[in-house]
Amino acid sequence: APLAILISGRGSNMASLLEAARAADCPYEVVLVASNNPDAPGLAFARDAGIATFAHSHKGLARADFDAIIDAELRKAGARYVALAGYMRILSEGFVAGWAGRMVNIHPSLLPLYKGLDTHGRAIAAGDAEGGCSVHLVTAELDDGEVIAQARVPIRPGDTAETLADRVLIEEHRLYPEALAAYIRDHG
Ligand code: GRF
């Protein structure tokens, strides 16, 4: 199935999705990487990998107007699924409705815990024994849609938000392609 990936920054999860797409039995092919940040390092990575990219700054645009620009690009590229990968924009309801059941996100916490930012710092401050990441369907509510897969890691004494983020990120890179592929196989 044709997949578009939305990024805002580094794009390491995007890279893991691109890497997995090289396998002959992968059920998705990446048709576009799009960003609200023209300087996102992940865009250059995608371009070098031969993937079509689109970038348009959201600055100065109403949220719905910006989302309509992205939506038009996704449809022009023929995307059937959308994967958010470090996409740091709240999405408008209209955009989300247009991709209901076909847009997923990866979030660096064990949802429903710690929606939003600073997930690792909050997990450590709470004294949690485990952190992790979740792949979930995207709804209009931030980090709130149905969870389709999770991975857990231990939180160790002396962990900082950075050391925990590094440990979780390894799991993100494994979990996201696997969960997305399984979801697309089930949903066509
Ligand atoms: C990841 O931790 C992701 O879970 C979160 O933002 C980070 C993005 O990293 N939503 P990258 O751009 O994929 O490297």
Q: Is 106's C-beta closer than 6 angstroms to any atom of ligand 1?
A: yes
- Identify any residues that bridge with 103 across adjacent strands, giving them in sequence order: 82
Phi first, then psi: give them for residue 43, nearest 5 degrees: -65, -45
- Cα–Cα distances (Å) from 54 to 71, 77, 84, 160, 171, in that order, read 11, 10, 14, 35, 28
Q: Is the CB of 10 under 6 A from ligand 1?
A: yes
Q: pLDDT per residue over 58-114, tens digit each?
A: 999 999 999 999 999 999 999 999 999 999 999 999 999 999 999 999 999 999 999
| Per-residue pLDDT reduced to its tens digit, 115-151 | 999 999 999 999 999 999 999 999 999 999 999 999 9
Task: For residue 26, give every residue at least 6 positions away whose Cβ sits within 8 Å of its Cβ, in sequence order, or none.
Answer: 20, 177, 181
Say what the ipTM of the complex is: 0.97
Contacts of 181 (CB under 8 A, 6+ apart): 20, 26, 27, 28
- Between the CA of 144 and the centroid of ligand 1 the distance, in Å, is 17
The total number of structural domains that make up the chain:
1
Measured distance CA(72)–CA(96) in Å, rounded: 13
Q: How far is the centre of ligand 1, averaged over its atoms, from the C-alpha of 87 (Å)?
A: 8
Q: Range of 99's domain? A: 2-187
Catalytic residue (choose from 56, 58, 107, 187): 107
CATH of the domain at 164: 3.40.50.170
Which residue has 């996102």 as its token pair? 40
- Give the residue, by CA position, lying nearest to ligand 1 atom 5: 86
